[in-house]
Amino acid sequence: MHIRVINPNTTAGMTTTIGEAASRIAAPGTRITARNPAHGPVSIESHFDEAISMVGVLEEVLAGEREDADAYVIACFGDPGLLAARELTRAPVIGIAEAAFHMATLISTRFSIVTTLARTGIIAEHLLDQYGFAHHCRRVRAAEIPVLDLEENGDAALSRLIEECKRARDEDDIGAIVLGCGGMADLTDEISQAVGLPVVEGVTAAIKLAEALVGLGLGTSKHGDLAFPRPKPFTGRFEGFSQLIPIR
């Protein structure tokens, strides 16, 4: 099984961190390929960053189609481009936020999210509403760490995250914590040991869900709004999308 993990930001070091965490958790027969777009923001911390990143995510899905990927993981906690990506393939496409929400509700009745910045926390709240998980989430907390600090100031970022996760444990009346950034993919064990609660991290959760769906023979439905996009001319810099025909 080949799972293509797409880091929507363009920071190669973070793509490596995400790819290594995915490979460690993957089943023996699973091959992970981790990619990031060539163009776009170095980190995703706003609606604007997300909007710009989406075209790169979709291009990486099209590249994955040419390389026979069996499933895709979008490894940014805003799940940028998720539904559009699903339109491009029959393979399952899993966003790390939705994967973490699903997994957390299977092991607890309520959870808190600990994410990077307060403003990205608001984006997570929109997703909780959109996906129907708001009822399960007690609180969205921000450690106030810019995304790239996870790469560049790893020790300080980890301490801040542990501190905020302990506050969530002591104040939120929860059974589990969801980590809210793809760049936290390698921190699950250290945080759960320090905090003593189950910690759900989206990249690893998404890999396991992707393996389960492929194992069940389930892929993205082509009935309804996730059908392949109707072919039509695209102009200007998006002219290449005019030849958008399903590869398989």
Give residues in contact with ligand 2AL (CB under 6 A): 9, 43-45, 76-78, 115-116, 120, 147, 180-183
In whole angstroms, what is the distance from residue 205 CA to residue 41 CA? 25
Considering beta carbons, is residue 89 or 116 the nearer one to ligand 2AL? 116
Residue 89: CB partners within 8 Å, gap ≥ 6?
61, 64, 65, 69, 72, 219, 220
Q: How far is the CB of 53 from ligand 2AL (least distance, A)?
A: 8
Asked if 75 and 207 count as a contact pair (C-beta separation under 8 A), the reply is no
Asked if 82 and 95 count as a contact pair (C-beta separation under 8 A), the reply is yes
In whole angstroms, what is the distance from residue 120 CA to residue 152 CA? 19
Q: How far is the CB of 30 from ligand 2AL (least distance, A)?
A: 22
Considering beta carbons, is residue 19 or 182 the nearer one to ligand 2AL? 182
Considering beta carbons, is residue 16 or 241 the nearer one to ligand 2AL? 16
Cα angle for residues 126, 132, 136 (degrees, 5° grid): 95
Q: How far is the CB of 247 from ligand 2AL (least distance, A)?
A: 28
- CA dihedral 118→81→44→162, nearest 10 degrees, is 50
Considering beta carbons, is residue 14 or 174 the nearer one to ligand 2AL? 14
Q: How far is the CB of 126 from ligand 2AL (least distance, A)?
A: 12
Q: How far is the CB of 63 from ligand 2AL (least distance, A)?
A: 20
Q: How far is the CB of 28 from ligand 2AL (least distance, A)?
A: 27
Considering beta carbons, is residue 178 or 197 the nearer one to ligand 2AL? 178
Considering beta carbons, is residue 6 or 181 the nearer one to ligand 2AL? 181
In whole angstroms, what is the distance from residue 48 CA to residue 230 CA? 26
